[in-house]
Every structure is written in C-alpha cells, then in structure tokens.
C-alpha cells in the first residue's frame, strides 16, 4: 500500500499518518520531519534548508527529491509507505511519478484532508505555544497557507485527474478522521 497524504499545513497529515502506519503496517515518510532532522543534525542540507523553512517557503525540489530518494532506498519501505508533505508542487508530483516508475512502483491512493483556514490557524497557534516550532508563528502560518494554495493545491487536482483522489473532512476528533480515511480506502 503506497499512499500520498495531502492537505494544508495543520490539517492533520502527520497526526493521521502516525495512526495509519500502524493500522496498515507501512512506514510514515514526512519530508518535513526529514528536513527538520537534517536541520537538527546540522548537515549541509539542513543548513541550506533552515532559513527557507523558517520563512514558510518550499525547500528546493532537487534537495527534497534527493532526501526522498534516499529514504525510499531503505529496506523498511518494502511493505508500503505513506508520503506526508510530498509532493508539494506539480514538478514534485511529476518527479515522484518518474522515480516510482524507475522503482517499478505506483501510488495506490491520494487522500486530501480538508480543513478551513481559521481552524488551521488556531491549531498551529496552540502547537506554537506547546512546542515552539519556528514556522508556527501566525504570520508564517498564513504565508504557508498562501504557498499551499498557490503551489500545492494543484497537486490535489493532479491526483484527481488520475482517478486516485479521495477528499476527507479533516474536522472532528482524531479518531473520527482516522476512520473516515480508512473508510475511503
């Protein structure tokens, strides 16, 4: 089972992927987590990515594709995976298709979480106060939402055109949303 989990910042991709990976016995691959780990480890890639992430912009396609390619080369992906935060623009969606075709794999389904902007701003304000993630200030969150609308929303249409998309109401309890995702698959 190979899934793409889509949705704006704060829509619950990471939360839901963490539950789905256990239910489906697959791995959770978050490009945001991979990038934050590179920043925390102080790698060259992390140093390049940090300012871009703090500003709520997208890190360059080449850097993220390299991270993803390395991750998909690891043996634990054999049973499947949930991609969270990738692809984030049409160029990445096409690069993923090319990579998967080389690996003789395909995406089984894309799931898009739908959450309104004010709920997102409230969720991420709460997370900012609890965890202090550097890109969760209100101004950067609003910018991330703008970047999502401009660059990532077309990826939802891309998977819809392939007949792979399910849209899921992302408002409710975490368990309810998880069940909606399972039902959609």
Non-local (6+) Cβ contacts of 74 within 8 A are none
* 86 interacts with ligand AP5 by CB under 6 A: yes
Structural contact between residues 163 and 108, judged by C-beta atoms closer than 8 angstroms: no
User: Closest approach of Cβ 25 to ligand AP5, in Å?
Assistant: 20
Residue 6, SS3? strand
State how far the alpha carbon of 18 is from the alpha carbons of 136, 137, 179, in Å: 20, 24, 13
Three-state DSSP state, 112: strand
Q: Is 90 in the site for ligand AP5 (CB under 6 A)?
A: no
Catalytic residue, chosen from 21, 50, 71, 88, is 88
91 contacts ligand AP5 (rule: CB under 6 A): no
The residue from 2, 127, 142, 180 that contacts ligand AP5 (CB under 6 A) is 127
**Closest residue to ligand AP5, Cβ-based?**
32
Q: Is 88 in the site for ligand AP5 (CB under 6 A)?
A: yes
Query: Which is the catalytic residue, given 36, 71, 123, 144?
Result: 144
Report which secondary-structure segment, H or E, holds 168.
strand 165-169
Q: Rule CB under 6 A: say whether 85 interacts with ligand AP5.
A: yes
Residue positions annotated with a catalytic role: 13, 88, 127, 133, 144
């Amino acid at each position: 089972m190979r899934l793409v989990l889509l949705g704006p910042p704060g829509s619950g991709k990471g939360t839901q992927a963490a539950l789905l990976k256990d239910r489906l016995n697959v791995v959770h691959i978050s490009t945001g987590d991979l990038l934050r780990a590179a920043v925390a480890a102080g790698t060259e890639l992390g140093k390049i990515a940090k300012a871009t992430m703090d500003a709520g912009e997208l890190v360059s396609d080449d850097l993220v594709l390299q991270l993803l390619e390395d991750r998909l080369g690891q043996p634990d992906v054999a049973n499947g995976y949930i991609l969270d935060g990738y692809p984030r623009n049409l160029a990445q969606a096409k690069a993923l298709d090319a990579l998967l075709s080389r690996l003789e794999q395909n995406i089984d389904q894309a799931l898009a979480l739908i959450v309104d902007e004010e709920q997102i701003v409230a969720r991420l304000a709460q997370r900012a106060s609890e965890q202090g993630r550097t890109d969760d200030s209100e101004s950067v969150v609003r910018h991330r939402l703008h970047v999502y609308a401009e660059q990532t929303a077309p990826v939802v249409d891309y998977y819809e055109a392939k007949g792979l998309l399910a849209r899921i109401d992302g408002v409710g309890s975490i368990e309810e949303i998880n069940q909606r995702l399972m039902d959609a698959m």
